[in-house]
Amino acid sequence: MTIMVREMKVLDIMPDLRKWAQSMRSNPVQSAALVEETLELALEEFEAFIRSPDQRLWLFKLMKDIQRGHVAPRSTIATARSTLTGAAISCR
């Protein structure tokens, strides 16, 4: 499946995303995980992604933020969401 956004195919910039991830994380498994996490977060924030005037730059900035720890890891977000959901249920 290919997602088209403003004439850009995300698949077209995948090689560049992979290369940049490899420059930030020398371990191939960790660099692949960084690319995967970047794309997963981009899908979660799809509205912001499509509103961005430069989606390519937006993806690279997101990857940099993940690498620097400025974005919570997905596992932390999922745990926080399930905790909040559980707390909301238990308060009823």
What pLDDT was estimated at residue 53? 87
* Neighbouring-strand partners of residue 8: 5
- 23 is written with which tokens? 């420059």
What's the pLDDT at 88? 47
State which residues form the domain around 31. Answer: 4-91
Overall number of domains in the chain:
1
Tens-digit pLDDT profile for residues 16-70: 999 999 999 999 999 999 999 999 999 898 888 888 888 899 999 999 999 999 8
Please give the residue that has the higher pLDDT: either 10 or 88: 10
* CATH code of the domain in which 36 resides: 1.10.1740
pTM above 0.85, yes or no: no
Which helix (H) or strand (E) segment holds residue 63: the answer is helix 55-68
